[in-house]
Amino acid sequence: MDLKFNKNEDAQRLLLSELKTRAERLRMGGGAAKLEKHRSQGKMTARERIDFLKDKDSPFLELGLFAGDDMYNEDGGCPAGGVVMGLATVSGRQCLIVANDATVKAGAWFPITAKKNLRAQEIAMENRLPIIYLVDSAGVYLPKQDEVFADKEHFGRIFRNNSIMSSMGITQIAAVMGPCVAGGAYLPILSDEALIVKKTGSIFLAGSYLVKAAIGEDVDNETLGGALTHSEISGVTDYACEDDADCLKRIRFIMDKLGKTQDAGYDRTEPKLPKRALNDVYGVLPENRDQPYDVRELLECLCDEGEIQEYKAGYGKTLVCAYARIDGWAVGIVANQRLVVKNKKGEMQFGGVIYSDSADKAARFIMNCNQKRIPLVFLHDVTGFMVGSRSEHGGIIKDGAKMVNAVSNSIVPKITVVIGNSYGAGNYAMCGKAYDPRFIFAWPSARIAVMGGAQAAKTLLQIQKATLKAKGEEPNAQAEAQLLETITQRYNAQTSPYYAAARLWVDEIIDPAQTRMYISAGLQAANQAPEQRAFNPGVIQT
């Protein structure tokens, strides 16, 4: 290994160390004291429940861990959005698990909690995955009720999705392991089967205090909506369980009986290891994000035996399009190339920029993958489309539109990994969040924004200076430098992968060495959902 590789590796491992430190803090939920108080009630924590439920020695691939991070500091924070969500295998079946974390504000629903639950349901619907809800929530966080309750993508959408998933034949199992209050009471009852834990689980539209205030009735919560009430009197729940462990065992028993469904038929062979060690990804990506590198070296760490069949290798060189296998799955890869290269005319093309020929190549490749029913994997390290008079005269907008059209209308699963920059329209063309990737992951080195920090800061500085001049103020050199520094810091914070993950613009920030595992799990999920329509790109200019 050379010095440059070692420097790159050191930089990536520092980023990975920060990722692990942040993740450990968030996995503590409401903190050590809240966790112990929760256990003192005879209850497992959300993560302990998931660990007990999933098949032993199988991974839990968490999604949305950073949801809400640093967003609700005035309310004491909302680690992981107050809910734990991810892919797991239960009784041999891949499924999605959603577990309220009652150590975070008693499992109350913040705006990001609703958004995260809706993302979980979206994943379940797109991939026809069984979904298991482990319910333990005090309901809507009232100080934020105006951001949770009434809009289309708010709390009520969850129950609409419960109903839609039922009509689609997607298995939904709900375990009431703590409070299930008010509107939230509909979630377990709109599921296929509902379990409730004795003494700790409860379901009611209004708790005992509200009942007293509304109609003057004196009744305790257990009598009002406890396990015996709903399993022996109302018939609302299907199973009364002795404790958390008993409840989770029953869910495993139910999952074990599910019938097999038709898969989508995406091709998979025996998985083979990459040509290079998985950890070599740390040394390939440059420490300085503006430096060039050959994305093919990354593919040697991701693809089975490092083998790719590159499409139009000599044309449109700032994008690498290639057929390959990842953990046995056949994939079509679209990856930004950060090398500075020459095109066929001998003109220099700068890495990380999408030119007309690159966009044209990618559009054709994406259409080919749809024709052949090959899932797509996008690897982002893009600064945008090429600008300037030559590009405009050459029809960059038309060629970029062709690529966006092909991405938008793709019917095969798309999995996106943001490994470096993801700026401007390049984010869109490379299947950013707005283009419905089945899953979208980011490395700790990712940056997502409308443009790079240096460009944006200078642009914003000019706007600020013009505003000050309009007021008759003229900043001196020192004040201008301070203003530029302030703008740059603020803008760079907003391009961070943690900023994106907190808002669920990406599903998870992952260890680069685990990229194969996440892509493979995503393709396994996607393979459970047969395509519902034929590929039709509509009007696309050639």
> What does the pLDDT look like over 159-204, one tens digit per residue?
999 999 999 999 999 999 999 887 778 888 899 999 999 999 999 8
DSSP-H helix ranges across 60-172? 111-127, 156-168
Output the six-digit token pair for 138: 């005090």
Query: Considering only CA atoms, which of 489, 464, 490 is closest in space to residue 479?
Result: 464
pLDDT in tens, 478-489: 877 777 788 788
- Does pTM top 0.85 for this prediction? yes
What values do phi and psi take at 245, rounded to 5?
-60, -45
Helix axes 515-526, 295-302, angle to 10 degrees: 70
Instruction: Tell me the C-alpha distance between 421 and 406, whole Å.
Output: 22
Instruction: Tell me the C-alpha distance between 67 and 50, whole Å.
Output: 18
pLDDT number for residue 37: 95
Instruction: Tell me the C-alpha distance between 350 and 388, whole Å.
Output: 13
pLDDT in tens, 193-240: 999 999 999 998 877 878 888 898 888 888 888 999 999 999 999 999
pLDDT number for residue 541: 58
DSSP conformation letters of 188-244? HHTSSEEEEETTT-EEESS-HHHHHHHH-----HHHHHSHHIIIIIS---SEEESSH
Asked whether residue 31 carries a pLDDT value surpassing 90, the answer given is yes
Asked whether residue 458 carries a pLDDT value surpassing 70, the answer given is yes
pLDDT number for residue 267: 97
pLDDT number for residue 40: 95
Asked whether residue 522 carries a pLDDT value surpassing 80, the answer given is yes
pLDDT number for residue 393: 65
pLDDT number for residue 478: 80
Give the confidence band of 284 by pLDDT, cuts at 50, 70, 90: very high
Least-confidence region, from 95-109, 336-350, 498-512: 336-350
Amino acid in position 28: M
Output the six-digit token pair for 4: 């440059």
pLDDT in tens, 121-139: 999 999 999 999 999 998 8
